[in-house]
Structure 1
């Protein structure tokens, strides 16, 4: 089991890395070359850099991720692509994407995009809070435990 992070703009990289270290899990952060970093990370953390482009990181993740892995992303479209591969997907707010909920989420995203295209304003995301981070951490830890239990 590996934990993948859709790295462009993710506010939970450090939280995810700390939990992965606790459970001795490898972390793969996929991000655009625009977000290249020289920051030092532990050996169990790997960066995969992709070319600039709206969906470059998404396509790379879909190609690399395997059944039993965990993906951290806020991208509904990417979540829908990897759910069918047997991947567990977690939003940075701690909500798990499931096959039962993803269609509704995609429909909401479609209608919001349609409204924006017609010139209407839609609300953006709220500022990320300490409570959000704690909820994410608890959800990820629970998910890791579940996945580890499934492997036994």
Structure 2
């Protein structure tokens, strides 16, 4: 029987982060579920394939999330939904979204989108490094060891 679940937004998850998550889930006895559109080939024992429509993966993942789950995603909007379900959102770079800071992350995302709509350019993501892998593994390991949930205001 699994201790908990890790749900992964596999559409945008780097391959190495996916491998790390699968290995840690096996080590800690957690179920690892991946979610992706049918446009992506994901090698996972427990995989959910959804339509390729906009936000289809995010909505399926949000609907499947339960309190206590760990959810790996780079989507800040999805992370906010996940926090509302008393689950733990984590980026593939090792950032654990906290209820106290999610409003800041959402505002930062909106500011960058506004800047781009006005003709500005923002830089894309940096190339993934070994340090990113180590940071992600450490953050996920910590969440799995604690297996904790917390109360979210509102």
Aligned to 1:15: 20
* Residue number among 3, 27, 35 corresponding to 1:30 in the alignment: 35
**Structure 1 residue runs of 4 or more that deviate by more than 6 Å after TM superposition:** none
Map Cα deviations across residues 47-99 of structure 1 (whole Å, 9 max, x no partner): 10110122101110111110011001111000000101110111111110011
Following TM superposition, by how much is the alpha carbon of 1:148 offset from its aligned partner in structure 2, in angstroms?
Answer: 6.2
Q: In 1, Cα distance between the equivalents of 2:112 and 2:87?
A: 27
Alpha-carbon distance, 1:29 to partner: 0.3
Corresponding residue number in structure 2 for 1:3: 6
CA contact (8 A) 1:2 1:70 kept: yes
The whole-number CA distance in structure 2 between the counterparts of 1:54 and 1:129 is: 29
User: TM-score by structure 1 length?
Assistant: 0.90
Q: Could you tell me which runs of 5 or more consecutive residues in structure 1 were left unpaired when the two chains were aligned.
A: none
Unpaired segments of 5 or more residues in structure 2? none
Q: TM-score, normalised by structure 2?
A: 0.89
Structural RMSD (CA): 1.5
Q: Kindly tell me the number of residue pairs found equivalent between the two proteins.
A: 145
Q: 1:148 to 1:23 in 2, by over 3 A?
A: farther
What is the alpha-carbon distance in structure 1 between the residues aligned to residue 94 and residue 12 of structure 2? 16
The aligned residue for residue 65 of structure 1 is 65
Is the Cα contact below 8 Å between 1:83 and 1:99 reproduced in 2? yes
Q: CA deviation at 1:149?
A: 9.7
Please give the per-residue CA displacement for 1:4-33, whole angstroms capped at 9, x wherever unaligned.
000113111101000001011111101111
Aligned to 1:27, what secondary structure does the other structure show? strand
Greater helix percent: which structure? 1
